[in-house]
Amino acid sequence: MYGNAYIDPNEKANSIVAGEDPEKLTEFETRISKGEKIEPKDWMPKEYRKQLIRMIEQHAHSEIIGALPEGTWITRAPGFQRKLALMAKVQDEVGHAQLLYSAAETLGKSREAMINDLITGKSKYSNVFNYPAFEWADACIIAWLIDAGAIINQVANAKGSYGPYCRALDRICTEESFHLKYGHDAVVTLATGTPYQRNMVQEALTRWWPPIMHFFGPSDKISQHTEILMKWKVKMASNDDMRQQYLNMYVPKIWDLGLTLPDPNLKKNEETGKWEYTEPDWDEFKRVINGDGPCNAERLAVRRNSEERGRWVREALKTADTKYIVPLA
């Protein structure tokens, strides 16, 4: 991260595009400012390609790893309807990863290389999925409040500049809005249920609040990539703006259910219209995204294991006589 060292913004912007053809760069930036989409075969600066690969790949990994904490609850979800809904949701998340890996592939990085970077710990994925889902209520909080955060981010970025990513996000958001309704219903059921259920959902919310505050990324003061990503309309709002939007939409809903949040300083400043809160613990965030969270090792071990166990299928497909492969209808 840039930390507190002052870097002249013009100097930084120039170094990012050093060596690019100035005419092509101007044409590219003009297209973006006009709201045109950039497509895979169009000219783009190296840094734009690099940033997109980094961000889309991390997003894809987040979906595939994100299926794990909720996935462990499929067999234990209370009742057949909840099991069915959760199974469909988890399946959707894995599908989102496929869409996102395909979008990242259009930029020139192979799926094998991306999966390899995930399982060797080289690539990051969302901090939130490195925390455990101890109870059924944790799975409900994920489905409501993590999906809510994902939707805020994705609805905004779906209006961004890179065509394949935006189209993937549009499709993902449609499915995520069902997840949100399912998650909200599951949390409302617990919050309006027995004292045991209320207590369970309150405890889960208290556990998840710090990772949720981290979810939108480091504050704008220390965010490393926001400036260039917003300039090129990959990110359509800054980390702090997304966090504010989230607090504005969801804190009142949480409080309406009679639940409390573990931050005594959380309140909306009516004069500025902004939410005030205790600054999240960014040291914990850094540790978690760099591999040292409560479940990082377990999550990657699951992915490594499935990669190993699926190897024979991929090998068989490579050598299979295609006449024996039945096409999907």
Contact residue for ligand FAQ among 53, 58, 207, 295 (CB under 6 A): 58
CA–CA dist 110, 120 (Å, integer): 16
Residue nearest to ligand FAQ (CB): 66
Contact residue for ligand FAQ among 77, 147, 205, 245 (CB under 6 A): 147
If one asks whether residue 124 binds ligand FAQ (CB under 6 A), the answer comes out as: yes
Site string for ligand FAQ, 188-217 (x = CB under 6 A): --------------------------xxxx
Q: Kindly tell me the burial class for residue 167, based on how many C-beta atoms sit within 10 Å of its own C-beta (0-12, 13-18, 19 or more).
A: middle
Fill in the amino acid letter for 24: K
If one asks whether residue 120 binds ligand FAQ (CB under 6 A), the answer comes out as: no
If one asks whether residue 130 binds ligand FAQ (CB under 6 A), the answer comes out as: no
CB of 68 to ligand FAQ, least distance (A): 9
CB-CB contact of 209 with 262 (8 Å): yes
Choose the stretch contacting ligand FAQ; rule: CB under 6 A; options: 79-87, 122-130, 245-253, 257-265: 122-130
CA–CA dist 161, 230 (Å, integer): 10
If one asks whether residue 161 binds ligand FAQ (CB under 6 A), the answer comes out as: no
If one asks whether residue 244 binds ligand FAQ (CB under 6 A), the answer comes out as: no
Contacts of 242 (CB under 8 A, 6+ apart): 149, 152, 153, 156, 216
Helix 147-157 × helix 163-191 angle, to 10°: 150
Q: What is the CA radius of gyration of the chain?
A: 21
The dihedral built from the CA positions of residue 209, 186, 64 and 44, taken in this order, carries a sign that is negative
If one asks whether residue 160 binds ligand FAQ (CB under 6 A), the answer comes out as: no
If one asks whether residue 218 binds ligand FAQ (CB under 6 A), the answer comes out as: yes
| Contact set with ligand FAQ (CB under 6 A) | 54-55, 58-59, 62-63, 66, 93, 124, 126-127, 142, 146-147, 150, 153, 157, 214-218, 223-226, 229, 235, 239, 289
